[in-house]
């Protein structure tokens, strides 16, 4: 596995190489689901592991995620044909008043690298904008972030609005950001919490029982 060009291209963050390797493999008759689960996902797992071990930095995560994504773009229509379930859809955004998007962008990229479809609502997202997006995209997960203690309460407000609108049970909710703690997540009734971007992918997968 670790010698397969697709695995190597994702691990090295070589987007063009990843696309080429997917094309070649498909031409040679490979099964799309097999390409994904035997090479691409293991490569991203290895990237995550290297990051956790301090051997990779975020830039290396990001280019690997982009390589993964460019390979996936070829695979996704084929996977849909074969009826394979997509990993999941996530809406991400920072809560109202919060303009800090470094962490949010990182989580979005990592989720994409993890095979999720990501709808990024950007920064300073009002609760109504979250609900509108849920109604439009029917995501599996809503992921909110906040960097400031002053904006963090926007997470609770958003969850309250979801409840009012009867949408709370239609999505899993994940939160994160510097001031956010597991305890706060429990308090406001979020389903998951992560301290780090790589942790966010793990949490998202476990929420969807993947």
Q: Is 54 in the site for another protein (CB under 8 A)?
A: yes
Task: Show the binding pattern over residues 143-182: x = contacts another protein (CB under 8 A), - = does not.
Answer: -------x----------------------------x---
Q: Is 123 in the site for another protein (CB under 8 A)?
A: yes
Which of 8, 58, 161, 167 forms a contact with another protein (CB under 8 A)? Answer: 58
Written as six digits, the tokens of 176 are 């994160």
Written as six digits, the tokens of 182 are 């597991």
In what order do the strands lie in the sheet containing 192-194?
A: 117-120, 89-94, 141-145, 172-176, 192-194
Q: Is 120 in the site for another protein (CB under 8 A)?
A: no
Q: Is 105 in the site for another protein (CB under 8 A)?
A: yes
Minimum CB separation of residue 179 from another protein in Å reads 8
Burial (CB count <10 Å: 0-12, 13-18, 19+), residue 135: exposed
Which of 106, 118, 121, 171 forms a contact with another protein (CB under 8 A)? Answer: 106
Stretch that binds another protein, among 25-33, 57-65, 70-78, 165-173 (CB under 8 A): 57-65
Which of 23, 34, 45, 55 forms a contact with another protein (CB under 8 A)? Answer: 55
CA 109 to mean position of chain CA atoms:
6
Q: Is 57 in the site for another protein (CB under 8 A)?
A: yes
At residue 21, the 3 state secondary structure works out as: helix
Q: Is 101 in the site for another protein (CB under 8 A)?
A: yes
Q: Is 99 in the site for another protein (CB under 8 A)?
A: yes
Q: Are 117 and 72 in contact (CB under 8 A)?
A: no
Instruction: Annotate 168-193 with b (16+ C-beta within 10 A) or e (fewer).
Output: beebbbbbbbeebeeebbeebebebb
Q: Which residues bind another protein (CB under 8 A)?
A: 54-55, 57-59, 62-63, 99, 101-102, 105-106, 122-124, 150, 179
């Amino acid at each position: 596995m670790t010698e397969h060009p697709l695995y190597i291209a994702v691990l090295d963050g070589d987007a063009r190489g990843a696309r080429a390797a997917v094309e070649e493999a498909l031409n040679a008759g490979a099964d799309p689901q097999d390409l994904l689960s035997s090479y691409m996902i293991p490569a991203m797992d290895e990237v995550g592991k290297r990051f956790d071990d301090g051997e990779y930095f975020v830039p290396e995560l990001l280019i690997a995620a982009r390589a993964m994504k460019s390979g996936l773009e070829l695979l996704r229509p084929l996977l849909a044909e074969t009826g394979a379930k997509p990993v999941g859809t996530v809406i991400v955004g920072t809560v109202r008043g919060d303009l800090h998007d470094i962490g949010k962008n990182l989580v979005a990229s990592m989720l994409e690298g993890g095979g999720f479809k990501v709808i990024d609502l950007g920064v300073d997202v009002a609760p109504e904008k979250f609900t509108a997006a849920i109604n439009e995209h029917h995501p599996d997960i809503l992921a909110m972030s906040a960097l400031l203690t002053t904006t963090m309460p926007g997470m609770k407000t958003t969850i309250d609005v979801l409840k009012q609108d009867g949408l709370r049970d239609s999505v899993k909710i994940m939160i994160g950001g510097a001031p956010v703690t597991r305890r706060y997540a429990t308090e406001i009734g979020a389903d998951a919490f992560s301290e780090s971007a790589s942790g966010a992918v793990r949490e998202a997968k476990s929420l969807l029982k993947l």
